[in-house]
């Protein structure tokens, strides 16, 4: 006889949708404002385009999101959360809070994905705190070799910040030298900027206005306020 367990268990029904690998992270990206396929791909660099397409179709079939054409030929589309999907924001926040509080971050810090880190930093930059109308910031990572060892963020008050590992034609206004793990520690709120600068784990060089205000406009993770707790046994 076929089991009817999930019929009587809302958790099991939800897990059938949310438990598929990548679905929670795709929903997170949509909650954070990504709407186009390429934006979702930047926030999920280890997810293949083929699997991303499949997961988006699954979430659409389950009523979590809608695929909306943005051009007459329907070649350009956006993905928007439905009311059902939007209600998952609280779930995403709860999962992230639990992860920051209880999971040992050491291994994750050592294997941080620089692309994901830079994409997250890019969308949390506080442009209202940025002291210049436009600027280019260069990040050089001491623990990465090859083309992705240097990233640039182009900031302009007229548009959203742009980030990538391709050197822009503009001149650099601020140089940031660090390791990926050090920048991640700062980003997550595990290490203050003053401490990072004092220990030379983050070095800043360039326009004085950008250096003095760096801690204000660079932003931090949405979970930077959550304190990591030591692992303990529950009696």
Pick the more confident residue, 231 or 24. Answer: 24
Mean pLDDT of the chain, nearest integer: 90
Give 3's pLDDT tier (boundaries 50, 70, 90). Answer: low
Has residue 117 got a pLDDT over 80?
Answer: yes
pLDDT at 103: 85
Pick the more confident residue, 185 or 3. Answer: 185
**Tens digit of pLDDT for each residue in 78-116?**
999 999 999 999 999 999 999 999 887 776 676 778 999
Taking Cα atoms as reference points, which of 203, 47, 24, 7 lies closest to residue 99? 24
**Tens digit of pLDDT for each residue in 149-190?**
999 999 998 888 999 999 999 999 999 999 999 999 999 999
Q: Does domain 5-102 have CATH number 1.10.10.10?
A: yes
**Tens digit of pLDDT for each residue in 8-28?**
688 888 888 898 889 999 999
pLDDT at 7: 64
State the span(s) of the chain assigned CATH 3.30.1050.10: 106-217
Q: Does domain 106-217 have CATH number 3.30.1050.10?
A: yes
Give 214's pLDDT tier (boundaries 50, 70, 90). Answer: very high
Has residue 122 got a pLDDT over 70?
Answer: yes
State the span(s) of the chain assigned CATH 1.10.10.10: 5-102
pLDDT at 76: 87
pLDDT at 235: 45
């Amino acid at each position: 006889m076929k089991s009817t367990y999930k019929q009587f268990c809302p958790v099991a029904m939800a897990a059938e949708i949310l438990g598929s690998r990548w679905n929670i992270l795709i929903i997170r990206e949509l909650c954070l404002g990504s709407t186009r396929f390429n934006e979702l791909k930047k926030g999920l660099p280890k997810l293949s385009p083929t699997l991303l397409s499949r997961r988006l179709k699954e979430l659409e079939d389950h009523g979590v999101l809608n695929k909306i054409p943005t051009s007459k030929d329907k070649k350009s589309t956006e993905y928007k959360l439905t009311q059902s999907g939007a209600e998952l924001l609280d779930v995403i926040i709860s999962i992230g809070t639990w992860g920051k509080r209880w999971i040992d971050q050491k291994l994750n810090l050592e294997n941080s994905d620089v692309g994901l880190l830079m994409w997250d930093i890019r969308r949390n930059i506080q442009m209202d705190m940025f002291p210049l109308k436009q600027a280019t910031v260069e990040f050089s990572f001491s623990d990465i070799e090859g083309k992705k060892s240097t990233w640039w963020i182009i900031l302009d008050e007229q548009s959203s910040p742009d980030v990538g590992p391709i050197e822009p034609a503009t001149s650099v206004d601020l140089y940031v030298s660090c390791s990926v793990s050090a920048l991640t520690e700062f980003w997550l709120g595990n290490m203050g900027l003053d401490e990072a600068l004092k220990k030379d784990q983050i070095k800043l060089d360039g326009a004085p206005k950008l250096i003095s205000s760096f801690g204000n406009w660079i932003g931090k993770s949405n979970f930077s306020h959550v304190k990591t707790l030591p692992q303990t046994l529950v009696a």
